[in-house]
């Protein structure tokens, strides 16, 4: 834990996330060129991006299951090969339908196979600096957006869209090399640590310090049973814990409104008289503040006096209130302030949610839990932006879209409020079962 090997794993995960998220968030530049090359309607071409992002999220449980069975290294290498095949193979596409399979399904599956294990691997290599390492890794999204946007523009201008896809596929093949840097984790050692954790929790029950410790849903007397259960397909037993159900439900609701500010903020600014250049800069400001926020929250999360659940719930509530009030921000100065504050607020979720999952389900189960959470994000995220678009068509301005996006974000935060109470009840029940054995 927290060795030189740990930091090597973190930087490998950082680079994997940078390449994956960089390609995902800058895909719009390539999409516009695909429209021209294949002479297809924009609405139909947009499904390439929808299938790509949808597959990357919806296949989260599959990626987590394979990770539990095969290990981080194997799944990341497989994901790198799939991503390379899907992206570079699109060079030979002669129709949009082929891109649905190559860029949408194949590359999307590859992105999931690299993102899930690389994001979760750092939890197994860090203990004291786990929150900081998570924050640094999550900064890769913002760095990827800053790097890949100009890189893609240069590639398209120099090599055309097909040459761009071929080069991007070759770049993504580096995930195979980075995956080799992540040494397999011994789950037998983790299970030994779980038994020791149970004993520690039992000793600290009386003084109340158990609330600050990691809780693992297993017992020393039923280790064999739980070992078999935790390795079962998809680990559906996690849904018997109300606290885990709540965080999945919150993820599902949150994703309905998560992308609304990113998609419609610039249009809202143009509607109120700002230039397209200034309007586009607002999204960049969100990305920059998100990157800074993830470092800050990563540092705060390691502090023993910081309650990460309260931090998470508070930041999500603030982000919802900000978007709910966005229709009243009509000047450039107000919109700049909104963009900076929103980036700082939403960056908290990406850092704290993996840490909360560890608290709720234990370290060995966190990979499966993260996969399920991605599934719920994907189910609703696919429809969130189109629903907001329907509100625009009905009302004639973007006010309704922001009322909708802010409201569902606040609702997602409210759903998380009882998680601490549920978790304490789960631990109380757990200790009673230990005492009766």
Nearest partner of 138 among 6, 10, 270, 325, judged by Cα: 10
Q: What is the pLDDT of residues 315-357, one digit of tens each?
A: 999 999 999 999 999 999 999 999 999 989 988 888 888 889 8
Query: What pLDDT score does 223 carry?
Result: 40
Q: What is the pLDDT of residues 188-241, one digit of tens each?
A: 555 454 444 445 444 444 333 333 344 444 433 334 444 444 445 567 888 888
Burial of 436 (0-12, 13-18, 19+ CB in 10 A): exposed
User: Which residues lie closer than 8 Å to 333 by C-beta, 6 or more apart?
Assistant: none
Residues listed for the chain = 437
Cα gap 177→166, rounded to integer Å? 18
With residue 258 as reference, give the H or E element that holds it. Answer: helix 242-258
Query: What pLDDT score does 260 carry?
Result: 82
Phi, psi of 102 (to 5 degrees): -75, -60
Query: What pLDDT score does 433 carry?
Result: 67
User: CA distances (Å), 433 to each of 109, 153, 205, 211, 250, in order?
Assistant: 41, 60, 14, 18, 29
Q: Which residues of the chain have pLDDT under 70?
A: 1-2, 28-29, 42-43, 185-234, 382, 385-386, 431-437
Cα gap 402→404, rounded to integer Å? 5
Question: In the chain, what are the domains?
Answer: 4-180 (1.20.1250.20), 235-429 (1.20.1250.20)
């Amino acid at each position: 834990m927290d060795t030189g090997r740990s930091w090597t794993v973190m930087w490998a995960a950082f680079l994997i996330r940078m390449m994956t998220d960089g390609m995902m968030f800058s895909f719009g530049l390539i999409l516009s060129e695909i429209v021209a090359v294949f002479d297809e309607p924009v609405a139909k071409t947009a499904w390439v991006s929808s299938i790509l992002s949808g597959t990357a999220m919806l296949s989260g449980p599959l990626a987590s299951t394979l990770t539990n069975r095969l290990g981080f290294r194997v799944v990341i290498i497989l994901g790198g090969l799939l991503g390379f095949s899907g992206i570079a193979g699109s060079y030979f596409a002669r129709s949009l339908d082929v891109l649905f399979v190559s860029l949408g399904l194949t590359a999307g599956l590859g992105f999931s196979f690299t993102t899930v294990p690389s994001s979760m691997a750092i939890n197994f290599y860090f203990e004291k600096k786990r929150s900081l390492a998570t924050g640094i890794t999550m900064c890769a999204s913002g760095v990827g957006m800053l790097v890949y946007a100009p890189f893609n523009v240069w590639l398209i201008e120099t090599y055309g869209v097909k040459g761009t896809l071929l080069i991007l596929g070759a770049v993504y093949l580096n995930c195979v090399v980075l995956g080799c840097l992540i040494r397999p984790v011994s789950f037998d050692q983790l299970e030994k640590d779980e038994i020791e954790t149970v004993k520690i929790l039992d000793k600290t029950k009386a003084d109340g310090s158990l609330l600050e410790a990691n809780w693992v849903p297993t017992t020393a007397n039923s280790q064999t049973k739980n070992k078999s259960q935790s390795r079962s397909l998809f680990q559906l037993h996690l849904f018997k814990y109300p606290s885990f159900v709540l965080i999945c439900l919150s993820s599902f609701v949150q994703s309905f409104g998560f992308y609304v500010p990113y998609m419609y903020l610039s249009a809202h600014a143009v509607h109120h008289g700002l230039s397209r250049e200034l309007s586009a800069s607002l999204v960049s400001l969100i990305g920059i503040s998100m990157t800074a926020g993830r470092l800050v929250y990563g540092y705060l999360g390691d502090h023993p006096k910081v309650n990460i659940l309260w931090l998470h719930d508070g930041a999500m509530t603030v982000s919802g209130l900000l978007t709910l009030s966005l229709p009243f921000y009509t000047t450039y100065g107000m919109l700049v302030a909104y963009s900076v504050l929103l980036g700082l607020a939403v960056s908290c979720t990406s850092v704290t949610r993996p840490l909360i999952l560890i608290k709720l389900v234990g370290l060995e189960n966190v990979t499966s839990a993260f996969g399920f959470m991605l599934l719920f994000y994907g189910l609703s995220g696919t429809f969130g932006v189109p629903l907001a678009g329907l509100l625009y068509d009905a009302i004639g301005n973007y006010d309704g879209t922001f009322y909708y996006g802010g409201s569902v974000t606040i609702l997602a935060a409210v759903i998380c409020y009882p998680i601490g109470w549920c978790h304490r009840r789960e631990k109380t029940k757990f200790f009673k079962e230990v005492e009766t054995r």
